[in-house]
Chains A and B, each alone.
Chain A
């Protein structure tokens, strides 16, 4: 990561066409951007394409970069947009259902099955590489638009309004998707959340 001074130096290097600055930029952000795109797309190959395209866009447009945000924020936004474009080309307008993952209720609106076990300690769960892998795999099973909404709102911290704009949806739609995605993640992770 760069502080304000080192980022300015890097930007100047990029503007001047310095190959070492290009490499430094790519080396520094490659991993985190790939991680972001990989999480949104659930696919390593597509993620690499999106990140590559984001770097190319940044390098082509670096002269016009106004520094209203950090270089990293700008890059992440481009990666998000690239990833969303990839998702749109993949799924079109079809929105998959989450019904199979949702809880079942009886005719009076109450749970059919009661819970067993006690809640696990999140700190401990997070420390286990096996659990981290399970969580990632479960996340990849969510339908694309739900996974992307969850990442953008809960991990990347974009507002509902921003996510709505990015995903061409209404704010109400984003809220519904986020809620259902969270419920689905909770339900998918139930086996690891209880001991």
Chain B
């Protein structure tokens, strides 16, 4: 696996920008253990990033549920002209 180590300032702490920038790598375990620990530490001390992460996960969960479910859409019946065009195409093949 190609894991990443993030450069930090002299304090060794990640910034909120870095947390956002590498959030997917962190969630997919694509960062080194050292960087992962820095993420954990930052999330421990930073309310904003904790909330950001929670919203990120919730947005993904909500999006996936809604986009995997076609129930609301008005696609119920096949338009007659489309069905006719499909059937017609089979007669020429």
| Chain A residues in the interface with B (C-beta under 8 A) | 17, 19, 22-23, 26-27, 30-32, 34-35, 38-39, 48, 51-52, 55-56, 59-60, 103, 105, 108-111, 114-115, 119-120, 122, 125-126, 129, 131-133, 135-136, 139, 150-151, 154-155, 175, 178-179, 182-183, 185-186, 189-190, 193-194
Excluding A27-B78, A35-B70, A189-B63, 15 further A-B contacts by CB distance (< 8 Å) are A22-B90, A26-B86, A31-B75, A52-B86, A56-B86, A59-B89, A103-B20, A115-B52, A119-B54, A119-B58, A126-B65, A136-B66, A151-B67, A155-B67, A182-B24
Interface pair A109/B89, CB less than 8 Å apart: no
Give me 20 A-to-B residue pairs in the complex whose CB atoms sit less than 8 angstroms apart, sorted by A's number: A26-B78, A31-B73, A34-B75, A35-B73, A38-B73, A38-B75, A39-B67, A59-B90, A60-B89, A103-B52, A115-B48, A126-B66, A131-B62, A139-B63, A151-B67, A155-B64, A183-B23, A186-B55, A190-B55, A193-B59
Contacts of B56 in A (CB 8 A): 182-183, 186
- Complex CA gap A30/B70 in Å reads 11
- Complex CA gap A19/B91 in Å reads 10
| A180 shortest CB reach to chain B, Å | 9
For chain A, what secondary structure do more than half of its interface residues adopt (helix, strand, loop), or is it mixed? helix
